[in-house]
Structure 1
Amino acid sequence: MKALFKPEPGPGFELIDRPDPTAGPDDVIIRVLRTGICGTDLHILRWDDWAASTITTPLTPGHEFFGEVAWIGERVRDVAVGDQVSGEGHIVCGTCRNCRAGRRQMCIRTQGLGVQRDGAFAEYLSLPASNVWVHHESIEPDVGAIFDPLGNAVHTALTYPVVGEDVLVTGCGPIGLMAIAVARHVGARFIVGTDVSAPRLEMAVHMGADQVVDVSRADIADAQRALGMREGFDVGFEMSGAPAALPQMIENMNHGGRIAMLGLPSGPFAVDWGKIVTHMLTVKGIYGREMFETWNAMGAMLQTSATLRAAIASIISARFPARDWQQAFDAAAAGATGKIILDWTQL
C-alpha cells in the first residue's frame, strides 16, 4: 500500500510503498478514503521539539480519517465489511483504574493513532474494533474525516451547561470554530470569538459568533459592552494555547465562571491564581473525546440539524489528492484556513 511515512527522526515525510497492516481477531482493517490534517501532523512533519521528544520512528502518522471496512477479525461482532467508519484515535489499555471505571478517555496508558502507533495517512489502517465508529446515517466523506476534531469541539462545548449562557471562545482555529457552532446549536445567549487572524474571525461570525475580537487590536471587554453585557462571561472555551489567552479569559469571566481548556500551551505561563480563587472560577483540562458519549452526541446533532451539518461542512477549506500531500500540508500550515482534507482515492 501507499503511505505517508517518516522513516527516521527529522523533518519531512515520504509517500512510499509500505507493507499492508496486520490485524488480530479483535481488529478491523479499514480502507482509508479521506484524512484530515491536524496540528499534531504538522508538528511531526516539522520535527519540532515536541515531536522529537514524543515520536518514535519509523511511523506512519495521521489520526483523522473516514473509510470503509475491508476486513474484520473473527471476534468482531458490531462492525461489518463495507461499513463506512471513522474512529477514536486513542487506544486505551482497558485495565487501569480509569478504564475499568468506564473513564477510558482518562486511561494512563493511552496510545495515540499516528503518534505512538501507525496511523491513517495510508491506503489501509488497522484499528481495534472497539475504537471504530460506524456511521449508520449517510455522511459526506470529508465530514466523516473530521469527526475526531469535531469530537474535541463537542467535548469542550458540552463540558458545562451553556443554554442561555454567555460564552467566550479564545482561538478560532477549526476546533474553536466548530465549538462556536455547537454552542450556538445548543442554545448559548451571546458568543464572542477571539483570534488574530481576520479570515478566521470572519469564519467565526459565519459559525454563529455574535461578536469577534482581534486581540492584537482590541480588548475583549469592548465586545461585552457592544453586546450590552452587564457581567462577565459564564463559560469559556480556551482553544488556542496562546500564553496570553487564558489570562485574558480569566480577566473577563463572571464570578463562578467555568473554563474548559483544550488549547495546549507550548510552555509555562503566569496565571492570576488569586483571581481564580476569589472569583470562584473552575478550570478544567479537556483532552480528546469522551468514549463514546461525545461520539453519540455529535452523531445525533449532525443527524438532526441540517444547519449544524452545513456549519461543520463549511470548516473544510480544500481537498487535495493524497499524491499532492506536500501542497496540502503547506495549505494547512498557512494558518488562516479551515480544515484541509487528503483524498486517498487519488494516488
Structure 2
Amino acid sequence: MKALVKDKAEPGLTLRDVPEPAIGAGEVLIKVLRSGICGTDLHILAYDGWAQGAVRPPLIPGHEFVGEIVEVGRHAGEAPDQGGLAVGDLVSGEGHLVCGKCRNCRAGRRHLCRSTVGLGVGRDGAFAEYVALPASNVWVHRGPVDLDTAAIFDPFGNAVHTALSFPLVGEDVLITGAGPIGVMAAAVARHAGARNVVITDVSEPRLALARKVGVSLALNVAETSVAEGQRQLGMREGFDVGLEMSGSPAAMGEMVANMTHGGKMAVLGLPTEQFPVDFARIVTSMLTIKGIYGREMFETWYAMSVLLEGGLDLSPVITGRYSYRSFEDAFAEAASGNGGKVILDWTA
C-alpha cells in the first residue's frame, strides 16, 4: 500500500510502498478514504524538539481520518459500545489508545489514562491506504455524514470537549485562537445557545473563517483589545466562559483579565514554554480553570454526531483538499497558518 512515512530522524516525509498492516484479535483493518492534517503532523514533518522526543522512525503519521472497515479480527465485531462492527461500516477512529487497566480506564474515564499511546505518534497511523485500529477505538457513522467532515472528527472532538465543558446557554463566550479547532468551538458555542461568541487572533484569514460560522465578533488583537470588544457588544461584567485555544501567553493573560467573577475557563492550547499567570486575579475573581486534552470516550463522539444531525455546519472550516500524491502542497498550506483544515484524499 501507499503511505507517508517518517523514514529517518530528520525533517521530511516520504511517499512509498509499505506492507499493509496485519490485524490481531480485537482489531479491525480500515481502508482510509480521507485524512486530515493536524499540527502534530506538522511537528513530525519538521522533526522539531517535540517530535524528536515523541517519535521513533520509521513511522506512518496521521490520526485524523475516515474510512471503511474491510476486515474484522476475532472478537472485534463484538464491541458492545458500538453495537457491533462489520465489514463495510463507515468509521472514524479515536486517536488515543488507552491501557484499559489503570484506575481511570476501569472507572470509565478512558480520556484520563496515564498510559495513552497516540495513533500516528506511538504507532503507525492513517496517512496510508490502510490503518489497523483496536475495535474499542472505532466510531461508526450510523447516519449520513460528509466524508471531509468525518475525516476531522478527532479535532472536532477537541473543540466539542472544550466548548461543552461548561453550560453555554445565554452565556458570553470568549475564544482565544481562531485556528481550525477554535473556529469549530465557536460554531459549537453558537449552536449550543451562547449569547455572544467573541473570537480573537492576529490572522485576518482565520478571523474571516470565524465570521463564516457566525461569531458575534472576530477581533484582531493586534489592533483591538478584548476590553474594547466588550464595549462594542455592550458587555459590562466580562465573559462567563473562556475557551483558550492558542497556547499564547498574551492570549491567556487577556482571557484572565476579561472574565467575569466566577467565570469558567477551559484550556486546550498547548504553550511552547512556561509563562506567568495573574493568579491574584484568578483567586480574587474566583475563576475555574479546566485543562482539556483529547476527547471523552465516547461521550464527546456521541455529542459530535448529534450536533451534526442537528444542523451544525463545519464546511467553512475545511479550506484545502488534495490527493495524497500532492501531500507536499497540502502540508505547505496547512503550515501557512492562514487557512482551516486541510484534507488528503486517499482515493484520488
Q: TM-score, normalised by structure 2?
A: 0.97
Q: Which residue of 2 aligns with 1:301?
A: 307
Return the alpha-carbon distance in structure 1 between the equivalents of residues 156 and 91 of structure 2. 15
Q: 1:321 and 2:323 equivalent?
A: yes
Q: CA deviation at 1:202?
A: 1.4
Q: Which residue of 2 aligns with 1:29?
A: 29
Q: Which residue of 2 aligns with 1:156?
A: 162
Return the alpha-carbon distance in structure 1 between the equivalents of residues 209 and 322 of structure 2. 21
Return the alpha-carbon distance in structure 1 between the equivalents of residues 173 and 58 of structure 2. 43
1:1-347 to structure 2, matched below 5 A, reads 1-76=1-76, 77=78, 78-305=84-311, 308-309=312-313, 312-346=314-348
Provide the identity percentage: 60
Return the alpha-carbon distance in structure 1 between the equivalents of residues 165 and 207 of structure 2. 24
Structure 1, unmatched stretches of 5+, are: none
RMSD: 0.7
Structure 2 counterpart of 1:34, which letter?
Answer: R
Structure 2 counterpart of 1:94, which letter?
Answer: G
Return the alpha-carbon distance in structure 1 between the equivalents of residues 214 and 101 of structure 2. 42
Q: CA deviation at 1:249?
A: 0.3
Q: CA deviation at 1:144?
A: 0.6
Q: CA deviation at 1:139?
A: 1.0
Structure 2 counterpart of 1:217, which letter?
Answer: E
Aligned pair count? 342
Paired residue secondary structure (1:236): strand
1:208-261 CA distances to partner (integer Å, 9 max, x unpaired)? 211121111111001100100011000000001112111110000001110000
Runs of 4+ deviating beyond 2 Å: none
Q: TM-score, normalised by structure 1?
A: 0.98
Return the alpha-carbon distance in structure 1 between the equivalents of residues 279 and 225 of structure 2. 21
1:61-96 CA distances to partner (integer Å, 9 max, x unpaired)? 000000000100121221100000001000000000
1:118-161 CA distances to partner (integer Å, 9 max, x unpaired)? 00000000000010000011111111100001000000010000
Q: CA deviation at 1:304?
A: 2.2
Paired residue secondary structure (2:44): helix
Paired residue secondary structure (2:165): coil
Return the alpha-carbon distance in structure 1 between the equivalents of residues 330 and 211 of structure 2. 25
Paired residue secondary structure (1:149): helix
Paired residue secondary structure (1:245): helix
Structure 1 counterpart of 2:155, which letter?
Answer: P
Q: CA deviation at 1:281?
A: 0.5
Q: CA deviation at 1:318?
A: 1.6
Paired residue secondary structure (1:314): helix
Structure 2 counterpart of 1:314, which letter?
Answer: P
